[in-house]
């Protein structure tokens, strides 16, 4: 059974940093691209970032480019999101999502999310 | 960036109704489109990928069609568990979601 479990969320002040983690199990982690998708309270879905199976390619939404860094550790079956210079508008539930294929942007499994609240 | 729009933003329907949701891309994306269902407090669930391919385990009352810029999600006979918000998502370049369509009970 595929499982994605996010952690690392919490309350943080504007301008500070936070690192999210996603622990994956139930599939061959290093065969698939992985992504972060967020959802602000009461709002829609926003893709944040993605990383290829071998970390050779990464992508970011314009709203987080230069502030967030995605990475993965295939030996630990883990995905990460380093979030710096956080802003109030980064407040959201952050989901980890698995690509359906090795490099597609179809998300066939999602975690339950970790909540990030940016507030003073 | 490729922008996505959806219509309607909400629809009220009854069990057994046929429901159609439309998604439009700001430029052509071939068949690089997915549909997701999200219920309150839950993660999204992939329903349709590649515009018309049904994800494993998804009931056959869900279907998708379209290519280029115009796409449709159809629920042939609405069931009680189908009341949710539906999102389209383009997968041609950086992923981008539509604003969502809420399907609620009439």
What is the percentage of chain A residues whose pLDDT exceeds 90? 97
Question: Which residues lie across from A84 on neighbouring strands?
Answer: none
Option in B50, B94, B98 nearest A61 (CB) = B94
- How would residue A67 be classed by pLDDT, with cut points 50, 70 and 90? very high
Give yes or no for A47 touching B (CB within 8 A).
Answer: yes
Q: Would the CB atoms of A107 and B43 count as touching at under 8 Å?
A: no
> Is residue A51 predicted with pLDDT exceeding 90?
yes
Is the bond into B8 cis (omega within 30 degrees of 0)?
yes
Dist. CA B51–CA B39, nearest whole Å: 21
C-beta neighbour count of A91 within 10 angstroms: 17
Q: Tokens in use for B23?
A: 């998604």
How far is the alpha carbon of B13 from chain A, nearest alpha carbon, in Å?
21
Amino acid B15: pLDDT = 95
Question: Are B23 and B88 within 8 A, CB to CB?
Answer: yes
Give yes or no for B98 touching A (CB within 8 A).
Answer: yes
Taking residues A25-51, what's their average pLDDT? 97
Q: Would the CB atoms of A45 and B100 count as touching at under 8 Å?
A: yes
A44, with CB counted inside 10 A (0-12, 13-18, 19+), is middle
Taking residues A87-91, what's their average pLDDT? 98
Amino acid B99: pLDDT = 98
Q: Mean pLDDT, chain B, as a whole number?
A: 96
- How would residue B43 be classed by pLDDT, with cut points 50, 70 and 90? very high
Label the pairing between strands B10-13 and B101-105.
parallel
Amino acid A103: pLDDT = 82
Q: Mean pLDDT, chain A, as a whole number?
A: 97
Mutation target to probe the B interface, by most B beta carbons within 10 A, among A100, A109, A113 is A100
Q: Tokens in use for A33?
A: 């691209």
B47-99 pLDDT, tens digit per residue, is: 999 999 999 999 999 999 999 999 999 999 999 999 999 999 999 888 999 99
Option in B43, B49, B97 nearest A100 (CB) = B49
Q: Would the CB atoms of B46 and A111 count as touching at under 8 Å?
A: no
Q: Would the CB atoms of B96 and A45 count as touching at under 8 Å?
A: no
Taking residues A45-72, what's their average pLDDT? 97
| Secondary structure class of A89 (helix, strand, coil) | helix
Nearest-by-CA chain A residue for B100: A44
Helices (H), chain A: none
Question: Are A22 and A34 within 8 A, CB to CB?
Answer: yes
Q: Would the CB atoms of B96 and A100 count as touching at under 8 Å?
A: no
């Amino acid at each position: 059974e595929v499982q994605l479990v996010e952690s690392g969320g919490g309350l943080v002040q504007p301008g500070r940093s936070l690192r999210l983690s996603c622990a994956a199990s139930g599939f061959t982690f290093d065969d698939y691209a992985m992504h972060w998708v967020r959802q602000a309270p009461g709002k829609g879905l926003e893709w944040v970032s993605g990383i290829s199976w071998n970390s050779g390619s990464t992508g970011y939404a314009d709203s987080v480019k230069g502030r967030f860094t995605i990475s993965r550790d295939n030996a630990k079956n883990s995905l990460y999101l380093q979030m710096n210079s956080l802003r109030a508008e980064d407040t959201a539930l952050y989901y980890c999502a698995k690509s359906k294929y090795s490099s597609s942007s179809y998300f066939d499994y999602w975690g339950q999310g970790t909540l990030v609240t940016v507030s003073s | 960036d490729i922008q996505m729009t959806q219509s309607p933003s909400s629809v009220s329907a009854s069990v057994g109704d046929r429901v159609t949701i439309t998604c439009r891309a700001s430029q052509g994306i071939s068949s690089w489109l997915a549909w997701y269902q999200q219920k309150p407090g839950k993660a999204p669930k992939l329903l349709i990928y590649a515009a018309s391919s049904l994800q494993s385990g998804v009931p056959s009352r869900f279907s998708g069609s379209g290519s280029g810029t115009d796409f449709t999600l159809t629920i042939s006979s609405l069931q009680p568990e189908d009341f949710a918000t539906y999102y389209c998502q383009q997968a041609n370049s950086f992923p981008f979601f539509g604003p969502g369509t809420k399907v609620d009970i009439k």
